[in-house]
Chain A
Amino acid sequence: MEEQKQPVALESSAPVIGPGHSFATVTDKISAIVLTRPTSTGWFVGFGVAFLLTMMMLFAIGYLFVRGTGIWGITIPIGWGFAIVNFVWWIGIGHAGTLISAILLLLRQSWRNSINRFAEAMTLFAVSAAGIFPLIHVGRPWLAYWLFPYPNTMNYWPQFRSPLVWDVFAVSTYFTISLLFWFVGLVPDLATLRDRSQSRPAQIIYGMLALGWRGSARHWHRYETAYLLLAGLATPLVLSVHTVVSFDFAVGIVPGWHTTIFPPYFVAGAIYSGFAMVLMLAIPIRKLYGLEDFITERHLQNSAKVMLATGLIVAYGYAIEAFMGWYSGNRYDAFTLWNRLHGPYAIPYWALLICNIFVPQVLWIRKLRTSPPALFLISGVILVGMWLERFIIVVVSLHRDFLTSSWGMYYPTRWDWMTYIGTIGMFLAAMFLFVRILPMISIFEMRTLLPEAEVKPE
């Protein structure tokens, strides 16, 4: 754990934590945001808007249940539209959190300590947003529970060869594990809040959630083991989730879906968009709550580098897809490639290439890697690009498949847009609440980064 103790780590870049901090300052600064700092009007405005968007989503979904999926733009042959696009997009975003907390933990990337907490929160909210779509996109949502194996009067079961059933298991597992991971991480900090808070209700609530944590050495020991084990479990899990999501397509025979490259480049894409979202949240937050000392240039740098790397993997994925389209000699795959480049949806495709491949290349430039505004912008571009990627995969592959006679077009309706934007609102609303009532940075893990945390050998 050498570098963990070294503020000035591998790189001569900024430290993971600002100078002049002690256990006390770290603790106070972070817990203050929740306990003492007055809630800004900005927070209320932001939360209000997000909340209204959430209501809009609920309205759209309500109407959907009344009238049926026909209010959306989907049709035959394009049986899946925005719902699945958004589902994959959100799930992808939901990958950063667990990745940061689990994989980087295993890799002993101590800089993660200051961003993992809200990255995990972000994951949970993103996965919840994603989870909405598969549920509401079915024709008879009130029967969606048939996807779970339970003893029923029909003596009939889910069909386990279907990737959709795999989805159900993968996503619910992912959500559960992420939740546990997040909560376990929270327990010691909740104890901190319990002991810091002045108001009785706060003490009781935080106290209850802290489960009576008292920082006993035995507890810490088991805690660390469990935390490490969880990380070990979450790592293959996070990789598996988007692999399974990619199976939804790869298992199908639709040209543009039926390809083996999908799992790796879906996972890469997921991390790609995940980090983009993390930055889009981290940059404003650190500014608004003055956390530049904890979320330093270093973090932005590293995230940018991760994006650059995953972005290149994604680019490779596109390249291979295109290559196989031509190389396979399969007339349908070849046409799918042509259709993406020249068909009616050519513009989204080119836009996707620009957003996901060309723009992010500027991250090679150190200056931009370290400039928050630039990163914020680029992250936005990447999120749009990743959404477009899913649109291309889902819609453009479906709209022209084998029989020319049954080719069609897809036009999203206002209900599609309302539901999509609504989920963004829901996501933000949750984030607003989170930063207000829970420590958005893992306090106890920050403490371990301080020099004084070191135990001097006698």
Chain B
Amino acid sequence: MQIFHRSTNTISRATIYGAIFMVAASLWAVLELQRSPYITYAKVARPQPVPFSHQHHVAGLGIDCRYCHTSVETSSFAGIPPTRTCMNCHSQIWTNAPLLEPVRDSFRSGKSLVWTRVNDLPDFVYFDHSIHINKGVGCNTCHGPVDGMPLMFNYASLQMEWCLDCHRAPQKNLRPRDQVFNMRYEQPSILKPVTLDGKEYTDQLSLGTDLVKKYKLRTVADITSCSTCHR
């Protein structure tokens, strides 16, 4: 006595292969989601009380990073400029631009501007700007072409694998200390060599390896130890 129709043979096999495929696909999707901007906010501009443009201030007006982020060389925290810093100029120029009203209001009332944090690490991660600057990690190495960002967003995923990528091979990214704040800096190439202590470098690797020695970087084992960032 025949219970099933012919077609069930095909159907049953199809379902089996289908199931296997579906499981694999969904797993892959989850892993992708983890790295997606939806989770990391990478390259996603945050809402801000004032549409401050780094592009205008850095590229346009050529203001140095440290003018606003004053403690970047001395402290773990780079520093967010107090309203007063904005007003240094904006008490002269754009004095009644409606866009800047929140700033003026803050300065009048003494109530702080409440920005949305852009490069926000989890609270169990302890990052120190000063030491990275000191070892020759350029601002835009991590923050990306800030001078090209009308609205600020974090350039990298800021996920652990991203940190490790550099901590496992710092030579890939180091540059001379005097170039750290140079937004236009390019890694050495045949066309654009970089000179350090009179020596000309045409490729990043040799430059990086020398800088690792020159700046006395700790070993990779050292800087990939857990307590380097977690404590």
Contacts and interface: CB of A to CB of B under 8 A. Distances in A.
Complex: A in contact with B (CB within 8 Å): yes
Interface of A: 150-156, 194-195, 203-204, 207-208, 211-212
Interface of B: 1, 3-4, 9, 12, 31, 34-35, 157, 159-161, 164
Contacts of A155: 160-161, 164
20 contacts: A151-B31, A152-B31, A152-B34, A153-B35, A153-B159, A153-B161, A154-B160, A154-B161, A155-B160, A155-B161, A155-B164, A156-B160, A194-B3, A195-B1, A203-B3, A207-B3, A207-B4, A208-B12, A211-B12, A212-B9
Contacts of A212: 4, 9
A314 B3 CA distance: 53
B184 to A, nearest CB: 31
A150 B35 CA distance: 14
Max count, chain A CB within 10 A of own CB: residue among B3, B35, B159, B161 = B3
Nearest to A211: B12
Contacts of B12: 208, 211
A98 B27 CA distance: 31
Contacts of B164: 155
A84 to B, nearest CB: 27
Contacts of B4: 204, 207, 212
Contacts of B31: 150-152
A203 B8 CA distance: 14
Nearest to B161: A155
Given A152-B34, A153-B35, A208-B12, 16 more contacts: A150-B31, A152-B31, A153-B34, A153-B157, A153-B159, A153-B160, A153-B161, A154-B159, A154-B160, A154-B161, A203-B3, A204-B3, A204-B4, A207-B4, A211-B12, A212-B4
B161 to A, nearest CB: 4
Contacts of B34: 152-153
B219 to A, nearest CB: 18
Nearest to B39: A153
Nearest to A154: B160
Contacts of A208: 12
Q: Is chain B's interface secondary structure helix, strand, loop, or mixed overall?
A: helix
A212 to B, nearest CB: 8
A151 B31 CA distance: 8
B10 to A, nearest CB: 12
B14 to A, nearest CB: 14
Nearest to A153: B159
Closest 3 A/B residue pairs (Cβ): A154-B160, A153-B159, A155-B161
A386 B64 CA distance: 73
Nearest to B164: A155
A152 B164 CA distance: 13
Contacts of B160: 153-156
A406 B4 CA distance: 68
Nearest to A208: B12
A208 B4 CA distance: 9
Contacts of A154: 159-161
A204 B3 CA distance: 7
A211 B13 CA distance: 10
Nearest to A207: B3
B62 to A, nearest CB: 37
Contacts of B159: 153-154
A150 B161 CA distance: 14
Nearest to A151: B31
A212 B9 CA distance: 9
A19 B9 CA distance: 41
Nearest to B1: A195
Max count, chain B CB within 10 A of own CB: residue among A150, A153, A208 = A153
Contacts of B3: 194, 203-204, 207
A217 B4 CA distance: 22
Contacts of A153: 34-35, 157, 159-161
A155 B161 CA distance: 5
A150 B31 CA distance: 9
A155 B157 CA distance: 14
A212 B157 CA distance: 52
A153 B4 CA distance: 48
Nearest to B9: A212
A263 B1 CA distance: 53
Contacts of A151: 31
A142 to B, nearest CB: 15
Contacts of A207: 3-4
B92 to A, nearest CB: 46
B18 to A, nearest CB: 15
A207 B11 CA distance: 14
A154 B158 CA distance: 11
A203 B2 CA distance: 10
A187 to B, nearest CB: 14
Nearest to B35: A153
Contacts of A152: 31, 34
Contacts of B157: 153
Nearest to B165: A155
Contacts of B161: 153-155
Contacts of A156: 160
B51 to A, nearest CB: 31
A208 B161 CA distance: 46
A415 B15 CA distance: 42
Contacts of A150: 31
A153 B36 CA distance: 11
A208 B13 CA distance: 12
A70 to B, nearest CB: 22
Max count, chain B CB within 10 A of own CB: residue among A155, A195, A211 = A155
B122 to A, nearest CB: 11
B165 to A, nearest CB: 9
Contacts of A195: 1
A243 B160 CA distance: 36
Contacts of B1: 195
